[in-house]
Amino acid sequence: MGRVDLKVELLRYTPEPEEIVAMGAKLCYTSSDLDELKEGIQKKDQGPFVNKLLSMGHLSPVEHASFTFGIEGVSRSLLAQITRHRIASFSVKSQRYVGEQSGAGKDGVFNYVIPPKIIDLGEEMVAEYERQMKTIQGWYDFWQEKLGNNGEKSNEDARFVLPNACETKLVVTMNARELLHFFQLRCCNRAQWEIRALATRMLALVKEVAPNIFAQAGPGCLRGSCPEGPFTCGKAKEVRERFSQLNHG
């Protein structure tokens, strides 16, 4: 246990996500019945259906495709941010049922995330940060003992001294429409570094399995002027180049 890094995997997703979206579009705009829809839509025809929907802003059929991610190596701070996205399902490692006692790992300290800006300060500052985490571990163990080392009954109160840096793990499911919204906000340079890194990796994963749905996904400046107004980072050109590279693997 100790310092950890971001890890994200696409665990499951709607089979043939672009076909199911195209089926929804076909039902909306043609006289097709269910028997015709069940015959499927050829690969070459799926892209035009999906692109038409996106260009029209008709996104309800896009909601039929869902994607489930496994995420670890992220902080409780990130958890507070990602759960603000309400149209999603979350399963999160519990600090009540899973304790953070020092004896649980070889390093004698709970898992934690170190912000890059602190890493950039050099080894001495990183060592100080790690010492502080060990100090907090001592506080946690102290309260565990005072509360009787009684499983969840002591975990639920001892955890109050744990920091935002403490690692969590979660499984997240979002439909494609919510992901488009999530990527617009969280791939933006104004998003905090941790959730921005997570969103960018999630985007790369879904592009592999649904390239048409997510062809233009990312921060708002990819599709026009920056929507952040006076809060713009002023780096739209650089951002567009970076996400263009993402499109090409």
Active-site residue set = 186
In this structure, are residues 249 and 86 in contact, taking their beta carbons and an 8 Å threshold? no
Whether the Cβ atoms of residue 219 and residue 190 lie closer than 8 Å to each other: no
The token pair at 237 is: 């050109």
Best CA proximity match to 59, nearest among 50, 68, 46: 50
Distance separating alpha carbons of residues 112 and 3, to the nearest angstrom? 5
Nearest to 22 by CA among 40, 1, 5, 35: 40
The encoded tokens of residue 232 equal 């713009």
Residue 113 CB partners (closer than 8 Å, separation 6+): 3, 4, 73, 74, 75, 165, 167, 194
User: Which ranges constitute the DSSP H helices of the chain?
Assistant: 17-29, 34-38, 43-56, 76-82, 116-119, 123-146, 152-158, 176-186, 193-209, 236-247
